[in-house]
A and B are shown apart, each in its own frame.
Chain A
Amino acid sequence: MLLIPCPYCGDRPEIEFRGGGEAHIARPRDPQAVDDQAWAEFLFYRTNPKGLMAERWNHAHGCQRWFNALRDTVSDRILESYRMGEKPSGGGSS
């Protein structure tokens, strides 16, 4: 079970969280102006990387805050977590 660093509450076990998929996929500002292909890519296309991935987490059974975390999908190591609207510090703490 992952130990997830909530930026508001600290390290908490994975069961307190709900995963929210890949992070930094901005909802188009004017969805109606987006063509079908671009909209489909926003809705469904994800990079699914092997290695570092920024992903969204919701501390559902805690502070209910959404935040982002940088996780290595191979080792499952979480390098850092950061609040919505923030950028990762880059490369993480190790």
Chain B
Amino acid sequence: MAGRNRLPRGGRVDRSKSVSIAFNGRTLAGFAGDTVASLLIAHDIHFVGRSFKYHRPRGFLSHGSDEPNALLSVDRGPGKIDPNNRATVAEAREGLVTHSQNHWPSLDFDVGAINDVLSPVFVAGFYYKTFMWPRRFWDSVYEPKIRAAAGLGRAPTEPDADRYANRHAHCDVLVVGAGPAGLAAALAASETGKRIFLADEQAEMGGTLLHDRTSMIDGKPAQDWVAEALAELRARGNVTLLPRTTAFGYYNHNHIALAERITDHLADAPAHMPRERLWQIRAAEVVLATGAHERPLVFADNDRPGILLAESVRAFINRYAVAPGRRIVFVTNGASAYAAALDAADAGLDVTLVDIRPEGDCGPELAALRAKGVTALTGHTVLAATGTRRVTGLAVAPVSPEGKIGARKILAADCVGMSGGWTPSVHLFSQSRGKLRFDPALDAFVPDQPVQATRSAGAANGRYDLSEILAEGFAAGSAAAGDSATRTFAATPTPTGFLPVRALPTDADPARIKAFIDFQNDVTAKDIHLAVREGFESVEHVKRYTTTGMATDQGKSSNMNALGLVAGILDKPLPTVGTTTFRPPYTPVTFGTLIGPSRDALFDPARKTPIHGWAEEQGARFEDVGLWKRAWYFPRGDEDMREAVARECAAVREHVGIFDASTLGKIEVVGPDAAEFMNRIYVNGWLKLEPGRCRYGLMLKEDGYILDDGVVARLAPDRFHVTTTTGGAPRVLAHMEDYLQTEWPELEVFLTSTTEQFAVIAVQGPKARDLIAPLVTGIDLANDAFPHMAVRTGFICGVPTRLFRVSFTGELGFEINVPADYGRAIWEAIFARGAAFGLTPYGTEAMHVLRAERGFVIIGQETDGTVTPDDLGLGGMIARTKPDFVGKRSLARPDLVAPGRKQLVGILADDPTLLLDEGAQIVADRDQPIPIHALGHVTSSYWSPACDRSIALALVESGRARIGSEVFVTTPSSFTKATVTAPSFFDAEGKRVHA
């Protein structure tokens, strides 16, 4: 049934809808509205996991997203296993399968629990101290063992089967947190008619009011007030409510990232719905009403299952109608836990309260509790908890104001609710770079000066009285919306007295007890003492050395206790110790949510040329070049890549090949000053280039190194057709725009990217002219009328074309530019004529081989951003008489003219069948003492069909002077002997292009 600890009445669960979940193979029933935690508690299950380091039994600490212990693996089917789910956040739904973590072979019998006995070994920083010797054990024993033992849940092995979405939004006011302050803020802000978003991490909005049975607001029970406020907000068209949505990151300029959980709580989620959605909201103003976290108390064995935070005990009883125990002892240093004790007593549970504060320091809450007949011990400390897998009691003793501890007695208990005060949740405020201020009365850091347009309100701002919280929230919401309305709320007064306490006074040897500060990382008070004793005084260092405040809960409950302890040991005021940095995410976010739809085919955009489909139909293999998909080679039958490339290369050299060069970057440079602009951007001279002619252009960055290259055609006195490398097009355009707009605004020039306007079909080989001649009209293709490096406009198959006579293969060749939409039709028309000519489509690999045989460089392969024109042997292209061009001055920098620069050469391995590795290092003498001086490296290496041997290009120190000499090139296992040559292996004089 619904569990023996289910209370007969009350709560916000829907008793008409039962759900059942599985926990470690047991099927357990609960109600809609339960979390996994409340459902397990209904069945009196507290022991739900083993701790990180000591493998101690652990139960629930909290009822919310700050839960450090109760992390379960949730199984929603194949590909949907999710580890480290907080049981206090995961909603119970029909058929949910959950498992506990961090134990072997089982939760009840766990071999790793030996760590608890061996704990002297696992002190703070143990991994820096323990595994030092013998050295060889590190790789073979320590590291594998530590890796196997580390971590909590198991990472899933299947690809995530869920779908994730993302959404961008803008609003005038984003309110984070829908507790009393957030609701009041949203009500006030939305009255102005502006666009308001209200986000809350819980399934139900209302925050702490959802478990408040007794407070009244404006004469109504608090929960009725919540219902009315939400109804009002829902009715307003300018309000968007986002429940189950955690604001986890506060970035620059009010850019907030939120994760919305959409289907995890649904038993039969429709297939079209994503599991989670990433919201990125840009808000004009933000109100942070994120509440506060209750602190645990630090005493021996304060981690036993059944020991919860006091407010969490209250939430389980009031909101979920489950009793965390039948005999509950509350331990507190402040007034807030009295409300929990009263509610527990009202629920018919056996309640005792222990207050650290002396009787005289307690407020009216004490008398109110005693009036209910509850035993309250004041001026008492807790020495230790008893029990192992479940708390069985507390050893308490009176403590005098001087710290003298009296006679101990045991209070039997099956549940403890502890309260060490409250820590405002300043995480998002701090992420927004707002400065924090220490408030000694609250013993906490609270928001001080904001840096962005943000306001904090309510408990997040250190306000704990309900009417103050509501008023502050309302004022903040109104101000955020540009108004200045205020409102007073008549609410039940909230007792807020509080005495800061670090570790509870004890008569035990502090070195012999485990009083936990950070439950998730098993950091105890003595670990903090040890860290400070060893010289770690900065809280950031203490955090990293002890791991306190790390992992999935990021120390939400533990941080203030750790900071207070450090300050106490150092005897410094807490504000000077400071806090650790609050970083996003506030709570863990799945990778799926961050990635959204950007996976598999949608991981990156794919750019495809107009001829892509044809290549696909021909069975081409593709390679990625930037975002482009380029045909790599066209295998026939069962050819492998090398066979296909050799056949394609031979066809180009002997007959004719066709190649899709559409990805080449293209920029149209137009205007009266176009030639002057080109003159300043490129190393070459352009003023004398006649319309109808092309030139190979080289451009430098201002530092003198090569930025890009490409053939440029002058179509008219005031019009250039510039081509760039495939990957370099955006970079080159930005570079040109930069100089045009910022350095030479007086030049009248217009730059237009035309990369995607043209399809480019390269037809290369001795029969190229004969192949295309009958298709071309309006252009005389005769050799003397249309020489190499010329450009003509005319028609091909009736389609306008810019026809280039250029070659990147070393053969007679044309590059046919046609409007992109005609690309495939023209390609197919040429191809249809090709059979008689032995026409062969070739891909980028053959293109690379053909250009390397001739010694043509590829920017980004032969160059790496530190290569000058002279390094490539292209110094002759520089128009030295030009007074200036980008990079000219730098070419005279001392390092760029120094002897010994790396220069482009060819490398031929002595073994002609050996293909050198691209990137392989080149040395003069393999027998030099280590470190061997590297002369340079191989930049390109291919099997050359034309040379019938392997060839390579390389950058080598003083390379041109080494031509003919012997060098050694690294291989994966050793060195191989090779000879330095000129960087051209075929038709070195370049005669074939003029055929």
Are the C-beta atoms of B893 and A36 separated by less than 8 Å? yes
Query: How many whole Å from A30's CB to the nearest CB in chain B?
Result: 7
B233-241, B505-513, B688-696, B741-749 - the one binding chain A: B741-749
Query: How many whole Å from B39's CB to the nearest CB in chain A?
Result: 40
Query: How many whole Å from A88's CB to the nearest CB in chain B?
Result: 16
Contacts of A58 in B (CB 8 A): 734, 737-738
Assess whether A18 is interfacial by the CB under 8 Å rule. Answer: yes
Are the C-beta atoms of B742 and A3 separated by less than 8 Å? no
Q: A2-B253, A30-B884, A36-B894 known; A56 and B889 CB under 8 Å?
A: no
Are the C-beta atoms of B433 and A56 separated by less than 8 Å? no
* CA gap between A94 and B774 in the complex, in Å: 70
* CA gap between A65 and B884 in the complex, in Å: 25
Interface of chain B residues 665 through 711 with chain A (CB within 8 A) = 702-703
Assess whether B255 is interfacial by the CB under 8 Å rule. Answer: yes
Assess whether A50 is interfacial by the CB under 8 Å rule. Answer: no
Interface size on B, residues (CB 8 A): 27
* CA gap between A64 and B251 in the complex, in Å: 26
Query: How many whole Å from B891's CB to the nearest CB in chain A?
Result: 11
Q: A30-B884, A65-B741, A66-B742 known; A76 and B252 CB under 8 Å?
A: yes
Interface of chain A residues 1 through 18 with chain B (CB within 8 A) = 1-3, 13-14, 18
| Given A2-B253, A28-B889, A56-B742, 19 extra CB contacts under 8 A | A1-B251, A1-B280, A3-B255, A14-B252, A27-B702, A27-B743, A34-B889, A40-B893, A43-B702, A43-B703, A43-B890, A60-B730, A60-B734, A64-B737, A66-B738, A66-B741, A66-B742, A76-B252, A84-B742
Assess whether B53 is interfacial by the CB under 8 Å rule. Answer: no
Query: How many whole Å from A61's CB to the nearest CB in chain B?
Result: 10
Q: List 30 A-B contacts (CB under 8 A).
A: A1-B251, A1-B253, A1-B255, A2-B252, A3-B252, A3-B253, A3-B282, A13-B282, A18-B734, A20-B738, A27-B702, A28-B889, A30-B883, A31-B889, A32-B892, A39-B890, A43-B702, A43-B890, A58-B738, A60-B734, A65-B741, A66-B738, A66-B742, A75-B433, A76-B433, A78-B253, A84-B741, A84-B742, A84-B745, A85-B745
Residue interface bits A63-79, CB-to-B below 8 A is 1, else 0: 01110000000011110
Query: How many whole Å from A58's CB to the nearest CB in chain B?
Result: 6
Contacts of B730 in A (CB 8 A): 60
* CA gap between A56 and B743 in the complex, in Å: 13
Q: A39-B890, A75-B451 known; A31 and B884 CB under 8 Å?
A: yes
Contacts of A14 in B (CB 8 A): 252
Residue interface bits B873-896, CB-to-A below 8 A is 1, else 0: 000000000011000111011100
Interface centre among B252, B730, B894 (most CB of A within 10 A): B252
* CA gap between A76 and B252 in the complex, in Å: 7
Contacts of B884 in A (CB 8 A): 30-32
Are the C-beta atoms of A39 and B738 separated by less than 8 Å? no
Are the C-beta atoms of B253 and A76 separated by less than 8 Å? yes
Contacts of B743 in A (CB 8 A): 27
Are the C-beta atoms of B893 and A39 separated by less than 8 Å? yes
* CA gap between A84 and B251 in the complex, in Å: 28
Using CB atoms, name the residue of chain B closest to A60.
B734
Query: How many whole Å from A74's CB to the nearest CB in chain B?
Result: 8
Query: How many whole Å from A37's CB to the nearest CB in chain B?
Result: 11
* CA gap between A36 and B433 in the complex, in Å: 42
* CA gap between A31 and B704 in the complex, in Å: 12
Contacts of A64 in B (CB 8 A): 737
Interface, chain B (partner A; CB < 8 A): 251-255, 280, 282, 433, 451, 702-703, 730, 734, 737-738, 741-743, 745, 883-884, 888-890, 892-894
Contacts of B253 in A (CB 8 A): 1-3, 76, 78
* CA gap between A3 and B254 in the complex, in Å: 9
Interface centre among B251, B703, B742 (most CB of A within 10 A): B742
Contacts of B888 in A (CB 8 A): 31-32
* CA gap between A8 and B803 in the complex, in Å: 38
* CA gap between A1 and B168 in the complex, in Å: 13
* CA gap between A76 and B702 in the complex, in Å: 29
Residue interface bits A28-66, CB-to-B below 8 A is 1, else 0: 101110101001100100000000000010101000111
Query: How many whole Å from B123's CB to the nearest CB in chain A?
Result: 39
Query: How many whole Å from A77's CB to the nearest CB in chain B?
Result: 8
Using CB atoms, name the residue of chain B closest to A18.
B734
Contacts of B738 in A (CB 8 A): 20, 58, 66
Contacts of A30 in B (CB 8 A): 883-884
Query: How many whole Å from B172's CB to the nearest CB in chain A?
Result: 14
Using CB atoms, name the residue of chain A closest to B741.
A66
* CA gap between A60 and B742 in the complex, in Å: 15
Query: How many whole Å from A14's CB to the nearest CB in chain B?
Result: 8
Closest 7 CB pairs of A and B: A31-B889, A3-B253, A66-B741, A1-B255, A76-B252, A75-B451, A2-B252
Contacts of A40 in B (CB 8 A): 893
* CA gap between A18 and B893 in the complex, in Å: 28
* CA gap between A53 and B488 in the complex, in Å: 45
Query: How many whole Å from A17's CB to the nearest CB in chain B?
Result: 11
* CA gap between A40 and B889 in the complex, in Å: 10
Are the C-beta atoms of A32 and B883 separated by less than 8 Å? yes
Contacts of A78 in B (CB 8 A): 253
Using CB atoms, name the residue of chain B closest to A32.
B889
* CA gap between A78 and B892 in the complex, in Å: 39
Query: How many whole Å from B745's CB to the nearest CB in chain A?
Result: 7
Contacts of B737 in A (CB 8 A): 58, 64, 66
Contacts of B433 in A (CB 8 A): 75-76
Query: How many whole Å from A76's CB to the nearest CB in chain B?
Result: 5
Query: How many whole Å from B170's CB to the nearest CB in chain A?
Result: 10
Contacts of B702 in A (CB 8 A): 27, 43
* CA gap between A58 and B737 in the complex, in Å: 9
Using CB atoms, name the residue of chain A closest to B739.
A27
Contacts of A32 in B (CB 8 A): 883-884, 888-889, 892
Query: How many whole Å from B97's CB to the nearest CB in chain A?
Result: 39
Are the C-beta atoms of A1 and B745 separated by less than 8 Å? no
Using CB atoms, name the residue of chain B closest to A66.
B741
* CA gap between A78 and B451 in the complex, in Å: 12
* CA gap between A75 and B450 in the complex, in Å: 10
Using CB atoms, name the residue of chain A closest to B751.
A64
* CA gap between A26 and B481 in the complex, in Å: 44
Contacts of B251 in A (CB 8 A): 1
* CA gap between A7 and B324 in the complex, in Å: 61
Contacts of B742 in A (CB 8 A): 56, 66, 84
Using CB atoms, name the residue of chain B closest to A20.
B738
Using CB atoms, name the residue of chain B closest to A34.
B889
The 8 Å CB contact of B889, one of A2, A39, A76, is A39
Query: How many whole Å from B939's CB to the nearest CB in chain A?
Result: 26
* CA gap between A77 and B253 in the complex, in Å: 7
* CA gap between A28 and B888 in the complex, in Å: 12
* CA gap between A76 and B431 in the complex, in Å: 13
* CA gap between A4 and B254 in the complex, in Å: 12
* CA gap between A84 and B743 in the complex, in Å: 10
Using CB atoms, name the residue of chain A closest to B280.
A1
* CA gap between A28 and B742 in the complex, in Å: 13
Query: How many whole Å from B435's CB to the nearest CB in chain A?
Result: 11
* CA gap between A2 and B251 in the complex, in Å: 8
Query: How many whole Å from B912's CB to the nearest CB in chain A?
Result: 45
* CA gap between A44 and B702 in the complex, in Å: 10
* CA gap between A32 and B884 in the complex, in Å: 8
Contacts of A20 in B (CB 8 A): 738
Contacts of B734 in A (CB 8 A): 18, 58, 60
* CA gap between A49 and B496 in the complex, in Å: 46
* CA gap between A83 and B912 in the complex, in Å: 60
Query: How many whole Å from B541's CB to the nearest CB in chain A?
Result: 24
Using CB atoms, name the residue of chain A closest to B753.
A64
Contacts of A13 in B (CB 8 A): 255, 282
Q: A58-B734, A64-B737 known; A1 and B252 CB under 8 Å?
A: yes
* CA gap between A40 and B704 in the complex, in Å: 12
Using CB atoms, name the residue of chain A closest to B731.
A18
Contacts of A60 in B (CB 8 A): 730, 734
* CA gap between A27 and B740 in the complex, in Å: 13
Contacts of A28 in B (CB 8 A): 889
